[in-house]
Amino acid sequence: MRKEIVLPAATVAVGAAGFLLRRWELATAFEPDTGLHIPGSPATWALIALSAALAAALVLLCRGKYPDFAGGYDQAFQAKGNTLYATAMILSAFLLLAAAGGGERAEFDGAQDFDLILRLTERAQKVAHVPKVLYWWRGHGGSTASGMQAKPYALAAGAAAVEAQLLRLGMPGRVEPIPGSPGAYHTRYDVTRPGRVTVLIPNKDHSEDLARCLESLYRNAGWDDLEVLVLENNSTQAETFACYERAQQQYPNCRVLTYKGGFNFSAINNFGARHATGAHLLLLNNDIQVETPGFVRELLSYSQRPDVGAVGAKLFYPDGTIQHAGVFIGLGGSAGHSHKGHPRDSGGDMYRLATTQNMCAVTGACLMVKKELYDRFGGLDEENFAVAYNDVDFCLRLWQSGLLNVMTPFAAAVHHESKSRGDDTRAGGEKQARYEREKARFCARYAGLMQQGDPYYNPHFTLLYENYGYK
């Protein structure tokens, strides 16, 4: 029989089979109450099998018929064999869609593409970001392209899409819109792996700072199973020791431990970690003033996850501007803080100050990590990074092992930065020399990453400043 008859007939037959299998899947592969896809549905597997068989048949039929295209995909699509490439791309997309439970769903109208992307990410082995402008989005008066306020129902649909994903992944929690950031959401994860949190606070004098830190921490922790270890380091003022006595009497599970060596931030925290009884450690500077109710619980809701390494907070200067919202590698020639100097109420670039972010690193001024991870990775590097870059180095070791480091803006605090020691970068003398040595070691250790660029920072932004070019 001639191919002019066979091929169209086969195409129609396969198309009809695919249509019927899809109808079968829509009727049987989704829970009627929730609309969630049923894992391992026979209809879905039949659809995947048909697609795989068709893809294999096309490869065999086209094998050896068309030469390689040295000019790349653009020339390939203009050439005689473009059908093969187009068909392969379509089938690949179809297989991924089938594995994710099908295409867009009417129950998420207004955010159906958001729901689809969430389902696709669950099936993908790796999600990559392409830091290029690939297309321009048109907009009109009734489109969300001109503002999410144009379709308020889309905001509710987006929240429903995130909640549906939490159900699929077995991660209990609730989803709330973020005020002032339409289309962005705060996921409040339930703490399903409760455990004690040990807070490590290095201190030398500055009893007023310490008293403020402890009061704000206990008032806003939002977590009862709390152990606080104040790590005394060469204090000389009588008021400091009086403050220690008051704190141990006033606050439950608050103890003072004495580290007798010289100032070495890494060694002091490692010393405290060896005495900790908690399942999680919270490294906290003595000049931190906790502001957000439920502060410790918010950090713990991420630290409990097995795929998370370190968790950090959003920190402000006393004047209300941003001091820290995560660390980017390469800023200033080494590492720097995200959105430094932005106004307190700023949403940041693409809502990055308003939403929880994956980062390469967070600051050790406020860093939560599972104690098991802290011990496994050897804690802070007290030999090479006694004062500077120890937090970034620790986070990068976690990140390079495949763990996620997280900054949540829903744990916020004021950081009275460097009140206790001064700024080593401008101190002169031995302090500044030590800082420069540690910076050089950091740059040498992570030269490859710095050359490649921080994957969480767009290369179109400047590396000269920590403020996204805000001023």
E-state strands within 254-390? 254-258, 280-284, 288-290, 308-316, 322-324, 327-329, 335-337, 357-359, 366-370
Q: Indicate if 231 and 352 belong to the same structural domain.
A: yes
Residue 157, pLDDT score: 92
Q: Which of 445, 220, 415, 417 is closest to 329 using CA atoms?
A: 445
Last residue of a domain, one of 68, 103, 138: 103
Q: 37, 69, 103: which is the final residue of a domain?
A: 103
With CA atoms as reference, report the closest residue to 240 among 204, 214, 199: 204
Residue 145 lies in a domain: no
Burial of 136 (0-12, 13-18, 19+ CB in 10 A): exposed
Contacts of 471 (CB under 8 A, 6+ apart): 341
- In whole angstroms, how far apart are CA 246 and each of 189, 253, 288, 302? 35, 13, 19, 32
For 342-387, the pLDDT digits (tens) are 999 999 988 999 999 999 999 999 999 999 999 999 999 999 999 9
CB 390 within 8 A of CB 381: yes
Same domain, 92 and 237: no
pLDDT given at position 420: 44
pLDDT at 259 over 80: yes
DSSP-assigned letter for residue 262 = S
Residue (of 224, 229, 220, 163) closest to 191 by Cα position: 224
Residue-wise pLDDT tens digits, 183-214? 899 999 999 998 999 999 999 999 999 999 99
Predicted TM-score (pTM) of the model is: 0.80
- pLDDT value of position 149: 60
Residue 426 forms part of a structural domain: yes
Asked if 81 and 202 sit in the same domain, the reply is no
pLDDT for residue 14 is more than 80: no
pLDDT (0 to 100) of residue 22: 76
Q: How large is the average pLDDT for residues 204-230?
A: 97
On whether both 58 and 203 belong to a single domain, the answer is no
Q: Tens digits of per-residue pLDDT, 395-447?
A: 999 999 999 999 999 999 999 975 344 455 555 678 889 999 999 999 999 99
Cα 308 → chain centroid: 9
460 in any annotated domain: no
* Among candidate residues 103, 120, 135, the one where a domain is terminated: 103
Angle at 248 between CA 247 and CA 249, to 5 degrees: 90
Res. 303: pLDDT tops 80: yes
Tally the domains of the chain.
2
How many whole angstroms separate alpha carbon 77 and alpha carbon 246? 76
> Quick one: pLDDT at residue 26?
76
* 376 touches 410 (CB < 8 A): no
Q: Which domain holds residue 234?
A: 197-452
Q: Is residue 42 part of a domain?
A: yes
Query: Does any domain span residue 411?
Result: yes
Q: Do 368 and 266 share a structural domain?
A: yes
Q: What is the pLDDT of residue 106?
A: 81
Determine how β-strand 335-337 pairs with β-strand 322-324: unpaired
Q: 442 and 327, same structural domain?
A: yes
> Are 57 and 201 in the same domain?
no
- Asked whether residue 133 is assigned to any structural domain, the reply reads no
Measured CA to CA, the distance from residue 5 to residue 397 in angstroms comes to 62
The pLDDT assigned to 73 comes to 45
In this prediction, residue 429 carries a pLDDT of 72
Average pLDDT of the chain to the nearest whole number: 86
Within a domain: 174: no
207: how many CB neighbours lie within 10 A of its CB?
Answer: 20
Residue 131 lies in a domain: no
How confident is the model at residue 77, as a pLDDT? 46
- Which CATH number goes with the domain that contains 386? 3.90.550.10
Residue 48 in this model has a pLDDT that exceeds 50? yes
Q: State whether 249 and 386 are in the same domain.
A: yes
